Amino acid sequence: MQSAQTIDIDDSQTPQAKPRLLVVDDVADNRAILIRRLVRRGFDVVEAIGGQDALDKIGAEAFDLVLLDIMMPDINGNEVLRRIRERFSEIELPVIMVTAKGLSDDVVESINLGANDYVTKPVDFAVALARIQSNLQRKLMADRLNRDKQTAESQAAELKVVVLKNETQLLDESCRRQQSEEQLRFLAFHDPLTGLLNRQGFNTALSEALEATKRGETETALLFVISISSNRSTTLTAMTWAISCLPPSAPVCARRSAKGWRWPASAVTNSPSSRPRPISRT
């Protein structure tokens, strides 16, 4: 008997310690001999007594490789192979056909249907073992690449989630900062109780309006509504400054809001930058 040397497979990263093989043959003696020798080489072997039995087991269990006889009474091997390839690729589930010598047409059909390899009867176990090991090695490498790809895709998806989360946080922080700055600007120029412009806000708005008037971009009108209890000195100082900023030709109208109040001429004529102009009092 010819001795066979086992080719080691590095299965340290495979989910199963032993590769699982499915041996399909309708002849019990053929199955028994092949299974016994494969088990001695460290394989986990399952047997199927025919084509339909093989399809049922493949549908219910996971295998790493199938040894499939072509000539079987219920469903021939090539039909079983065709149905296998409807679900599994040549890498996902390698299939080695077992055929009688001289049936070259069957072998050609098997290759066209997606068989990975073939051996002839009587089976030379050394050849069969080498071809089994070779196909298992290719499957193992493909499985590793597929796992690495899935791991990389998973990590990329997780990284994308992290980046999106960080971008969302930055956007939220930016919006909060912008709202805070807008609130601070509002409080700087508005009274917190009434929401109206405070002195600084009024001065800023007035300065901008007067600058636009000087450039000829717009015309500015000032309306002072003053109560009798207002600080007259402060009020007249503000009015004098505002009037002094107006163009010389701009008419000024003073309207009193309390009986007996009059606009003194000094509010117009005593300002350093002012010049005499007509004053309308109503």
Residue 263: give the domain boundaries: 194-281
| 141, 213: one domain | no
Which of 26-35, 103-112, 166-175, 257-266 is least confident? 257-266
Whether this prediction's pTM lies above 0.85 is answered by: no
Kindly state whether residues 44 and 120 are assigned to the same domain: yes
109 and 37 fall within a common domain:
yes
Choose one of 148, 174, 206: the last residue of a domain.
148
Domain boundary among the residues 93, 120, 148 is at 148
Which pLDDT belongs to residue 38?
97
Mean pLDDT over 171-195 rounds to 85
Over residues 75-92, the pLDDT tens digits come to: 999 999 999 999 999 999
Closest CA to 220 of 190, 245, 239: 245
Distance CA(23)–CA(21), nearest Å, equals: 6
In a domain, 32, yes or no: yes
Confidence of residue 112 (pLDDT cuts 50, 70, 90): very high
* Domain termination site, one of 93, 116, 148: 148
> For residue 25, what is the domain's CATH number?
3.40.50.2300
**Same-domain check for residues 50 and 140:** yes
Shared domain for 34 and 114, answered yes or no, is: yes
Domain count for the chain: 2
209 and 143 together in one domain: no
Is 263 part of any domain? yes
Q: Which two tokens stand for residue 106?
A: 């069957």
Q: Are residues 200 and 141 in the same domain?
A: no
Band of pLDDT at residue 71, cut at 50, 70 and 90: very high
What tokens appear for 181 in the block?
Answer: 């700055």
